[in-house]
């Protein structure tokens, strides 16, 4: 007897890698930027601000990401 696949396991949603070292299951609404042709995401707007100041060092993990977000200007 062959068993029909009653519940085909759906593929998990792709995880977006953040520049901060984490992953987001749904990056919608998170700040993003383009680095070397790739879209990178940030957990906070403050992270993107630091990234934009020095993208290479931020992506190299040399700049710790801030704990608190910055308020809207």
Q: Which residues bind Zn ion (CB under 5 A)?
A: 20, 43, 47, 65
Q: How far is the CB of 18 from Zn ion (least distance, A)?
A: 7
Q: How far is the CB of 51 from Zn ion (least distance, A)?
A: 9
Q: How far is the CB of 37 from Zn ion (least distance, A)?
A: 21
Helix, strand, coil distribution of the chain in percent, nearest 5: 20, 20, 65
Cβ of 51: how many Cβ atoms within 10 Å?
22
- Residue closer to Zn ion by CB (options 6, 67) is 67
DSSP conformation class of 37? T
């Amino acid at each position: 007897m062959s068993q029909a696949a009653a519940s085909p396991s759906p593929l998990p949603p792709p995880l977006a890698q953040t520049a901060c070292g984490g992953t987001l299951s749904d990056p919608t609404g998170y700040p993003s930027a383009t680095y070397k042709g790739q879209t990178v995401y940030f957990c906070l707007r403050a992270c993107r601000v630091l990234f934009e100041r020095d993208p290479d060092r931020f992506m190299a993990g040399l700049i710790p990401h801030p704990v608190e977000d910055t308020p809207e200007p």
